A and B are shown apart, each in its own frame.
Chain A
Amino acid sequence: MNTGPGNLFTGFLEDFYAEGEEHLASARRNLLALEPLAGRQVTGSAIEELLRSFHSLKGLSAMVGVNEVTLMAHVMEEYLRDVQTIRSNVEPAAIEALMDGVHAMEEVIAARRKGLAPPDISSVLNSLKLTAAKGITEIPTDTVSTPAGTAWHFSFVPSAELSDQGINVGVVREKLKEVGVITRASPRVLNSGIAFDFVVSTEKTAAEIGTLIPLGVTLKPAEEPTLASAAAEAPATAPSNFVRVEMQKLDELMRLIGEMVISRAHFDETIRSLENRLAHGDFRTLQEVHARIERQLRNLRQAVMQVRMVPIAHIFERMRFVVRGLERDTNKHVRLEIKGQDTEIDKLIVDRMLDPLLHMVRNAVSHGIEKEGIVTISARTAGERVIVEVQDNGRGIDLERVTAKARSAGVIGSKDSVDVAGVLEVICAPGFSTREGADLTSGRGVGMAVVRSTIQELGGSIELETAAGEGTKFTVTLPLTLVILDALLITLCGQRFAVPQSEVREILAVEALAMRRLEKTNLIPYRGGVLPVIHVSEFLKFNANFAEPQATIPRPRIHVLVIGSEGKAVGLIVDKVTGQREIVVRPISDPQLRIPGIIGATELGDGKPVLIVDAEVVARLAGQQKEAFR
Chain B
Amino acid sequence: MRKILIVDDSTTMRRMVTASLRNLRDVIFEEASSGLDAIERLSLNPASLMILDLNMPDMHGLDVLRFVRSQQVNHNLPIVVLTTRNDAASRSAAKEAGATLYMTKPFDPAELLNAAGNLLEAKS
Can you show 20 pairs from A to B with CB atoms below 8 A apart? Answer: A4-B108, A5-B106, A5-B108, A8-B20, A9-B16, A18-B12, A55-B55, A56-B9, A56-B10, A56-B55, A59-B10, A60-B13, A62-B84, A62-B106, A63-B105, A169-B40, A170-B36, A185-B59, A187-B59, A189-B71
Query: Are B105 and A59 neighbours in the complex by a CB distance under 8 Å?
Result: yes
Query: Are A185 and B58 neighbours in the complex by a CB distance under 8 Å?
Result: yes
Contacts of A238 in B (CB 8 A): 11, 33
Beta-carbon contacts of B94-116 to A below 8 Å, as 1s and 0s?
00000000000111110000000
Q: Is A117 in contact with chain B by the CB < 8 A criterion?
A: no
The 7 A-B pairs at the shortest CB distance, nearest first, are namely: A62-B106, A15-B12, A59-B105, A169-B40, A19-B12, A63-B106, A158-B40
Query: Are B109 and A194 neighbours in the complex by a CB distance under 8 Å?
Result: no
Considering only residues 63-78 of chain A, those with a C-beta below 8 Å from chain B are 63
Q: Is B44 in contact with chain A by the CB < 8 A criterion?
A: yes
Considering only residues 605-630 of chain A, those with a C-beta below 8 Å from chain B are none
Nearest B residue to A81, CB-CB = B85
Beta-carbon contacts of A190-225 to B below 8 Å, as 1s and 0s?
000110100000000000000000000000000000
Residues of B within 8 A of A (CB): 9-13, 15-16, 19-20, 33-34, 36-37, 39-40, 43-44, 55, 57-59, 67, 70-71, 84, 105-109
CA distance A60 to B105 in the complex (A): 8
Q: Is A159 in contact with chain B by the CB < 8 A criterion?
A: yes
Q: Smallest Cβ distance from B41 to chain A, in angstroms? A: 8
CA distance A169 to B43 in the complex (A): 12
Contacts of B10 in A (CB 8 A): 19, 56, 59-60
Contacts of A189 in B (CB 8 A): 67, 70-71
Q: Is A52 in contact with chain B by the CB < 8 A criterion?
A: yes
Q: Smallest Cβ distance from A251 to chain B, in angstroms? A: 21
Beta-carbon contacts of A175-194 to B below 8 Å, as 1s and 0s?
00000000001110100011
Q: Is A236 in contact with chain B by the CB < 8 A criterion?
A: yes
Q: Smallest Cβ distance from B29 to chain A, in angstroms? A: 16
Q: Smallest Cβ distance from A165 to chain B, in angstroms? A: 13
Q: Is A249 in contact with chain B by the CB < 8 A criterion?
A: no
Q: Which of A11, A19, A58 touches B11 (beta carbons < 8 Å)?
A: A19
Nearest A residue to B106, CB-CB = A62
Contacts of B19 in A (CB 8 A): 8-9, 11-12
Contacts of A18 in B (CB 8 A): 12
Q: Is A3 in contact with chain B by the CB < 8 A criterion?
A: yes
Q: Smallest Cβ distance from B37 to chain A, in angstroms? A: 6
Q: Is A16 in contact with chain B by the CB < 8 A criterion?
A: yes
Q: Which of B67, B84, B107 touches A58 (beta carbons < 8 Å)?
A: B84
CA distance A359 to B93 in the complex (A): 51
Given contacts A3-B107, A189-B70, A236-B34, 9 further A-B contacts (CB under 8 A): A5-B107, A8-B19, A8-B109, A16-B12, A55-B84, A59-B105, A168-B40, A187-B59, A244-B11
Query: Are B109 and A52 neighbours in the complex by a CB distance under 8 Å?
Result: no
Query: Are B57 and A59 neighbours in the complex by a CB distance under 8 Å?
Result: no
Q: Smallest Cβ distance from A79 to chain B, in angstroms? A: 15
Beta-carbon contacts of A8-39 to B below 8 Å, as 1s and 0s?
11011001101100000000000000000000
Contacts of A62 in B (CB 8 A): 84, 105-106
Contacts of B44 in A (CB 8 A): 158-160, 163
Q: Smallest Cβ distance from A82 to chain B, in angstroms? A: 14
Q: Smallest Cβ distance from B30 to chain A, in angstroms? A: 12
Given the known interface contacts A159-B44, A196-B40, the answer about A237 and B33 at a Cβ–Cβ threshold of 8 Å is yes
Query: Are A237 and B106 neighbours in the complex by a CB distance under 8 Å?
Result: no
Q: Smallest Cβ distance from A80 to chain B, in angstroms? A: 13
Query: Are A63 and B16 neighbours in the complex by a CB distance under 8 Å?
Result: yes
Q: Is A422 in contact with chain B by the CB < 8 A criterion?
A: no
CA distance A18 to B16 in the complex (A): 14
Number of A residues, CB within 8 Å of B: 44
Contacts of A4 in B (CB 8 A): 108
Q: Is A234 in contact with chain B by the CB < 8 A criterion?
A: yes
Query: Are A170 and B106 neighbours in the complex by a CB distance under 8 Å?
Result: no
Nearest A residue to B57, CB-CB = A234
Contacts of B20 in A (CB 8 A): 8
Contacts of B36 in A (CB 8 A): 169-170, 173, 185, 187, 196
Query: Are A5 and B43 neighbours in the complex by a CB distance under 8 Å?
Result: no
Q: Smallest Cβ distance from B83 to chain A, in angstroms? A: 8
Contacts of A16 in B (CB 8 A): 12
CA distance A168 to B44 in the complex (A): 11
Contacts of A528 in B (CB 8 A): none
Contacts of A59 in B (CB 8 A): 10, 13, 84, 105-106
Nearest B residue to A173, CB-CB = B36
Q: Smallest Cβ distance from A186 to chain B, in angstroms? A: 8
Q: Smallest Cβ distance from A19 to chain B, in angstroms? A: 5
CA distance A460 to B55 in the complex (A): 45
Q: Smallest Cβ distance from A22 to chain B, in angstroms? A: 10
Nearest A residue to B84, CB-CB = A59
Query: Are A52 and B67 neighbours in the complex by a CB distance under 8 Å?
Result: no
Q: Smallest Cβ distance from B11 to chain A, in angstroms? A: 6
Query: Are B106 and A52 neighbours in the complex by a CB distance under 8 Å?
Result: no
CA distance A234 to B56 in the complex (A): 10
CA distance A236 to B32 in the complex (A): 13
User: Which of B39, B58, B105 has the most CB atoms of chain A within a 10 A radius of its CB?
Assistant: B58
CA distance A205 to B106 in the complex (A): 49
Q: Is A133 in contact with chain B by the CB < 8 A criterion?
A: no
Q: Smallest Cβ distance from B55 to chain A, in angstroms? A: 5
Contacts of A60 in B (CB 8 A): 10, 12-13
Q: Is A166 in contact with chain B by the CB < 8 A criterion?
A: no
CA distance A19 to B12 in the complex (A): 7
Q: Smallest Cβ distance from B79 to chain A, in angstroms? A: 16
Contacts of A2 in B (CB 8 A): 106
Contacts of B71 in A (CB 8 A): 189, 194
